[in-house]
Amino acid sequence: MSRRIWLTGASSGIGAALAELLLQRGARLALSARNAEALAAIAQRYPQQVLLVPGDLGDADQVRLIGERIAQRWGALDQVILNAGTCEYLDAAHFDAALVERVMRGNLLSAAYCIEAALPLLRLGQTPHLVLMGSSVTHLALPRAGAYGASKAALRYLAESLRLDLPEIDITLVSPGFVDTPLTRRNDFPMPMLWPVERAARHIATRLERRPLELAFPGLFIGALRLLAHLPARLRLALGRRLARKESV
């Protein structure tokens, strides 16, 4: 029987590329995003494999209804890939708490709502697997990334804690570096070792089959961040401030 997968953030970027790959491999996908038209275009190409469950994942009531619809159609889930997320950069000189709240809702609270809806279905599935989309930014603090980095750091802690409490479910944290998506194209700074979205999706889809605790890439970029993260605190501070000055030019 083909695997039953709930994939969020499926309308563009990594999510859309992942959807295409997983559908080509025969999976059945419940697709979520706010852009219902983009999801419908995918469903037209794979009408027997796609269940459309669009909505705002930052709204707990909408997520609950999505979970109920999946339960009515499939009865269970074998894998959940929580890929949906957002990014906004924080200008600390004009600190905006509302921005922090938006990013936390888009990256952390939306994931929590989805986990709440998904866990009963995963417990009924075959070899259940929960996948959370984190970020390489959690290895090293970067300028203007206070809201985004905090949300992804919280997601990392959530994943690691859930592994302790949910031994019956495999949990993978995906920590990508820079990937060429509509979201990253808005960045106004250099993005070293930028991967095309198709390459990133292939990398994720293939390695998720092994159910690793963490899937981080590109290897050289992640290795460099981890090394820098072990510098003394004052050296990390000096490095970050030099980056901040370059960005402000």
Whole-angstrom distance, CA of residue 57 vs CA of residue 243 = 34
| Radius of gyration for the chain, computed over Cα atoms and rounded to the nearest angstrom | 18
Query: Which amino acid is residue 155, in one-letter code?
Result: L
Residue 190 φ/ψ, nearest 5 degrees: -60, 145
For the question of residue 148 being annotated catalytic, the response is yes
**DSSP string of 159-188, one letter each residue:** HHHHHHH-TTSEEEEEEE--EESTTGGG--
From CA 92, how far away is CA 188, in angstroms rounded?
17
Three-state DSSP class for 135?
Answer: coil
Which amino acid is it at 37?
E
* Annotated catalytic residue within 46, 89, 113, 148: 148
Q: How far apart are the first and last CA of the chain?
A: 56
- The kind and range of the H/E element at 52 are strand 50-52
So which residues are the catalytic ones? 148
